Structure 1
């Protein structure tokens, strides 16, 4: 009961003070002056106790506060027999406290996910067999067994090669193969076969335990939100007290001093500012951005430096099939057989492979005799053919041939992951998967700069070359690669020299940095994680460009709050001077203060009025147009990739141009009509959305360039109809590679500038 009372104290005081004030008014109207006086005195005493408690609490924490003015005003009103003025002041104070409590209600920063995920037991390998022991009893140099799907309990060294999901520590979605003798950290998940490790630390000194401590320390170092009123108190309280004393001394009448204190009660600070902040919180929530309290909103408004994690924030956070390299089968057939087999696999790459096959309209079959080798791949029979899909080292062994080495080299250059497809004992194709950059990420970075962010940093656990590529595309100011959670904390400390910091991430490994930054922003569209627990701002929509709009809302709300405070306190100062000169009684001053409060609130309510955001609002017709064109756009991805495949297959030794002729025919019948439809339908939609035809000039230019390049290839093929020379093959290959580069760049432009305006899956 006492806990419930403390949690709802402000609301109880508000309801009680309103009831006493209204009850006293009704009693006075009914001619019961004694009852009215008693009700108003009770209201004033309630406010005095409430304000006095707040003042004592502020003094105990050595925090300046304007509540001392309320204490003096309430005590003075009772002293000079002005109980109605005291009852009005109590209502103002209670209303301000309730609004402030609502605005500053912070979501609890729990470590529930981190602690629940931490292993409690370990499997010790002994001469007598496997023994389950408490993880706290594990010492250095012991042998532990980690089964598939289990979390590594303490840091150690793997006895045999295995594969681990290290996303909890690095944030990277790709499984990592660890050879025998390599170090493995606690907190990662074994996604391969059962593996033994030799421990190198104890549980208390392991990586995962350190991660939990980092979050705890970072949370403890986060300063609490200080009310706007408190920052004005240092100058406002002495001014009020001096003016009240001067009025008393000059007139010899304590009533004037009380009147000064009454009109000085800083309700514009206690009411207007929280209302503007709550309005900002509400507007952000409607956009899918949950800001955990007024303190977080205010700090977001002051932010000047934004530090991004890569995976899941600037990239999708989930692998996507980008290319099918064929050797002894067609791309569609290899993908169909591989995806049919992957339907029964729980591997992280299985889902994207199946999705890609279905997106191409391929008919999948259920495999027979399927068997998954953890961390290696899956084997089975599909349509009577023996199929294996998995790691190159599992398919071809430790001695890859030239074609497999070329696949690996291409994957390394692109920062991709490769899986080989074996059909009836022969390598037939390779699947390349990549974590793509979010199409809305570059626009989000530009929008952040437009709202006043002066520095943007990418801090990721990924390789330096991959991080640098992402940083170039989204145009950040600095790139920090191969970062551990501790490295991200150190980066935030360095970046704090440039201004207030914002950390954006979505993984457990980002939780310490999210808690340590001035504002932590978590992406939780795919589910709640420890990052959302540690964050101040949570994006519940799968769009990072919502962050720029949230920052715009925060800055506007803070600006309006300051305007409301400035107007309200300015008028209060004028009223204080009038009261000091004897023109206002305490009751009249309290009524005037209410009018000033209403004006300040009206100014604060401007924060509710919608303004233009960076996010584009499309009409239902335009959304439907973009959605239909996007379906066509995505369906043409295999045709675009076949341009490079055909060019790769061209050889001057056997100048067979049949595949090139078929390719050009498909480009003319499928691709060019789509590009013309884009020019006629997509370009006007984007121009309307962005408010400028100049913004789509690059799209129109590349539409024309694509048609021009296809026409050039067609003319070349027509001129060599009688037979191609080696020089013709070289020229054709050069033209196809050039066309492929134009198509890839154009598709990226459309993804970023057009199709990112509509979230994936919306219509």
Structure 2
């Protein structure tokens, strides 16, 4: 705020909350670097001792450096067993314990270093993969500048209530949902939608919380509490997505049991066959740890993070895996295939008047009306940069029309019958015009003479036909429309589109039957935006909500939420999901295959424990880096569909 601003600021201190105790996971994360440093330091010191005349000290040093890693690992294994989880960390514990028992202390410290290093690398990979997801959390505002008694006060966010007026300064995060009450809002919504170009909102237009003010300060009239705002809802969805565990990860856990059994049988068989326990130890070492455990969660989290960057919120790994296997699509019409609001689609002036002038006069008069159609006309006029005049002598008949004076001319504006009853020649001219199915016609008369019509309709999103064709190319065999609108409207809007079936006049429960009926063709995805779509979204194998402007109920019921009002993001989401799943499986198959080859070589005596540990670590690093490919590239270029 500049010094010349007459509004004073009353600073109100905000009490900082007490930080909660660190969770076990946080402590483990902080301990990872220490657990890497201890065996690394011990390995170096032991090697120095071995080659500098103190060889007897090398073994004890390596053993001492192994013990902390083994101790932490055993604690984690016990905690996992109490939860009913059995994983391949047991193999790591067996290999370190066996190496210490058979005085293979160098192998023990190498395994400890490689295991701790692998865990640290996995943790780093997951943190990197979550970076885009947690970017939302890092932008959560804590306070707001609220107007009170002619002054500004800084208050805690939970004190802001609907109806308050707050100041959003340049660079501030919009803390709650609201509408612009003063000034022009230039908003950077990239953290929410992935859109890099700022949007501009004028007085009365809605502003989504979580946006960044990229322009001059503006006043916001709040419409929701912070906990009920768009941004708070998105944060809750993000946290839910991060807590979710993918079915592929659970499958990996079950497969890990098989791998664990094979590892123990192979190592035990090598011992019994040769009588050499070192061969058994070498088998255990090269099986530590399994790339199956590492690759799947990293690839899944990377895919979810990549989608979040594109404005697509996927609620966990289950949703991502299902998204990759979709074979049938059920889609709503209003607000999904279409924009969900009336827009001016055509202007038909009489011969004595230009299109621009007819539109300007109609929009000028409609400034005095609060009707949704009037608002749509005014918004379109502003978009066309038309200079609107101030209307006077306004008389409005609610739900029918309005009349008044614009630039000294008497203007009548409204429905067909409203204008026809007041202007003698209007009825004949209107009857000669073909009425469009599903459209609204606004008639205009000027100084007692019929002047033309404006046609408004909920138009199909541009590029929809191309999008549906692209979805078929991605493996969706059935595409079905399910709408509550009249059949003639649905057929008119979707004419020429590649739908396998069109279901109209549907109630919310009838939409559920459409979804369940398509399940025989494979996993079903439902896309919708309204409250009436929520039951069908919940019933589908995968529900996708148009969350940018849709109802909160639909976003809550859905598995995937599109944070930007663009239907083409569905295609991007499928491409990301399919690629993440493919990369996870590639990493698993390659990693397990290489591990088995190494285990067989160790059982046959071609690899010593130390060599096995080094080879297995190379395998682990390879599969983790491969899984991180899901963070970038590989998604085809998509033509924007507005």
**Bin for the TM-score computed over the shorter chain:** 0.5 to 0.7
Change (3 A) 1:570 1:462: same
Match of 2:371 among 336, 344, 347: 347
Residue 5, structure 1, aligned to residue 23, structure 2: yes
Mapped partners of 1:378, 1:10: distance in 2: 69
- 1:189-222 residue CA offsets vs partner (Å, 9 max, x unmatched): xxxxxxxxxxxxxxxxxxxxxxxxxxx9xx99x9
Match of 1:311 among 326, 334, 352: 334
For the 8 Å contact 2:437–2:488, the answer to whether it is kept is no
Mapped partners of 2:100, 2:416: distance in 1: 86
For the 8 Å contact 2:245–2:317, the answer to whether it is kept is no
Mapped partners of 1:307, 1:16: distance in 2: 52
Q: In the alignment, which residue of structure 1 is the partner of 2:10? A: none
Residue 476, structure 1, aligned to residue 499, structure 2: yes
Mapped partners of 1:477, 1:532: distance in 2: 26
Match of 2:246 among 191, 210, 225: 225
1:507-526 mapped onto 2 (5 Å cutoff): 507-526=530-549
Mapped partners of 1:495, 1:80: distance in 2: 61
Residue 21, structure 1, aligned to residue 45, structure 2: no
Q: In the alignment, which residue of structure 2 is the partner of 1:581? A: 604
Change (3 A) 1:407 1:21: farther
Change (3 A) 1:465 1:556: same
Shift of 1:94: 5.5
Match of 1:367 among 386, 391, 402: 391
Structure 1: gaps (5+ residues):
109-215, 617-756
Match of 1:389 among 413, 425, 431: 413
1:517-596 mapped onto 2 (5 Å cutoff): 517-526=540-549, 529-596=552-619
Mapped partners of 1:303, 1:454: distance in 2: 9
Residue 265, structure 1, aligned to residue 291, structure 2: no
CA-based RMSD: 4.1
Which has the larger helix fraction?
1
Q: In the alignment, which residue of structure 2 is the partner of 1:708? A: none
Mapped partners of 2:488, 2:622: distance in 1: 57
Shift of 1:458: 1.7
For the 8 Å contact 1:103–1:294, the answer to whether it is kept is no
Residue 53, structure 1, aligned to residue 58, structure 2: no
Mapped partners of 1:22, 1:346: distance in 2: 72
Q: In the alignment, which residue of structure 1 is the partner of 2:259? A: 236
For the 8 Å contact 2:531–2:551, the answer to whether it is kept is no
Mapped partners of 2:428, 2:372: distance in 1: 22
Q: In the alignment, which residue of structure 2 is the partner of 1:685? A: none
Shift of 1:451: 1.6
Change (3 A) 1:501 1:581: same
Mapped partners of 2:395, 2:21: distance in 1: 56
Q: In the alignment, which residue of structure 1 is the partner of 2:70? A: 44
Match of 2:360 among 303, 315, 336: 336
1:102-251 mapped onto 2 (5 Å cutoff): 225-226=246-247, 227=249, 228-233=251-256, 235-251=258-274
Mapped partners of 1:559, 1:524: distance in 2: 28
1:264-283 mapped onto 2 (5 Å cutoff): 264-283=287-306
For the 8 Å contact 2:547–2:564, the answer to whether it is kept is yes
Shift of 1:262: 3.0
Q: In the alignment, which residue of structure 1 is the partner of 2:187? A: none
Mapped partners of 1:482, 1:4: distance in 2: 54
Mapped partners of 2:78, 2:432: distance in 1: 72
For the 8 Å contact 1:471–1:478, the answer to whether it is kept is no
- 1:268-301 residue CA offsets vs partner (Å, 9 max, x unmatched): 2233334444554455455444444444332221
Match of 1:502 among 525, 532, 536: 525
Match of 2:438 among 394, 404, 415: 415
- 1:485-534 residue CA offsets vs partner (Å, 9 max, x unmatched): 33333332222221122222233443444444333333345589454454
Structure 2: gaps (5+ residues):
1-18, 50-56, 135-236
- 1:468-500 residue CA offsets vs partner (Å, 9 max, x unmatched): 233333312222223333333333222222112
Q: In the alignment, which residue of structure 1 is the partner of 2:468? A: 445
Change (3 A) 1:225 1:96: same
Mapped partners of 1:522, 1:104: distance in 2: 22
Shift of 1:92: 2.6
Shift of 1:380: 3.3
Mapped partners of 1:516, 1:67: distance in 2: 38
Match of 2:118 among 92, 113, 126: 92
For the 8 Å contact 2:347–2:359, the answer to whether it is kept is yes
Equivalenced residues, count? 504
- 1:228-249 residue CA offsets vs partner (Å, 9 max, x unmatched): 5225235423322322332233
Change (3 A) 1:107 1:42: same
Mapped partners of 1:285, 1:354: distance in 2: 35
Q: In the alignment, which residue of structure 1 is the partner of 2:510? A: 487
- 1:97-147 residue CA offsets vs partner (Å, 9 max, x unmatched): 665687689989xxxxxxxxxxxxxxxxxxxxxxxxxxxxxxxxxxxxxxx
Change (3 A) 1:531 1:75: farther
SS of the residue 1:307 aligns to: strand
Shift of 1:26: 4.9
For the 8 Å contact 1:296–1:536, the answer to whether it is kept is yes
For the 8 Å contact 2:327–2:521, the answer to whether it is kept is yes
SS of the residue 2:372 aligns to: coil
Shift of 1:571: 0.9
State the TM-score, normalized to the length of structure 1: 0.57
